[in-house]
Amino acid sequence: MNRVYELMFIVRPDMVEEDQDKLISSLESNVTASGGTVKSVEKMGKRRLAYTVRRFHDGIYILLTVEGGGAAIHEVERRLRVTEPVIKFLTVRIDEEQKRLEKIKKIRDARRKAAPAPAAESGGEAAAVTA
């Protein structure tokens, strides 16, 4: 069963751009080999860490949005665990949240369609009262 995950990982602040690209491409190939797809890659740049991790105060943040099964995510997490430049990583399943947000959006749209009719009537009454 394919699900959508956000995979955020932080690499060493002194990591070269070329090495970052190599790491990202190897993770993408691991995901595709496991039957998943990488929907997006976002390099968020160098940022200050909330606390010191492995004697680093800064890190380069990278966000991957991955669609696939649990086996693909498990393999990517295993690779991140053994990759030396990776300081920290976190994987979050977001497909349930996307479904919930879509449901809320539908409810809001239905309310907006129903709300303008009474508002137009009250506007007409206000004009009659003031005239």
Q: Are 65 and 14 in contact (CB under 8 A)?
A: no
Q: Report how far Cα 46 is from the mean position of its chain's Cα atoms.
A: 18
Q: Encode the chain (131 residues) as per-residue pLDDT tens digits.
A: 789 999 999 999 999 999 999 999 999 999 999 999 999 999 999 999 999 999 999 999 999 999 999 889 999 999 999 999 999 999 999 988 888 888 999 999 998 888 765 555 555 555 555 55
Considering its fold, how many domains does the chain have in total?
A: 2
- Prediction pTM value: 0.76
Closest residue by Cα to residue 15 from 40, 49, 45, 48? 45
Question: What range does the domain containing 25 cover?
Answer: 3-93
- In a shared domain, residues 41 and 75: yes
Phi, psi (deg, nearest 5) at residue 5: -130, 150
- In a shared domain, residues 72 and 88: yes
- In a shared domain, residues 81 and 49: yes
Q: How far apart are CA 45 and CA 127, in angstroms?
A: 56
What are 49's two structure tokens? 């860490």
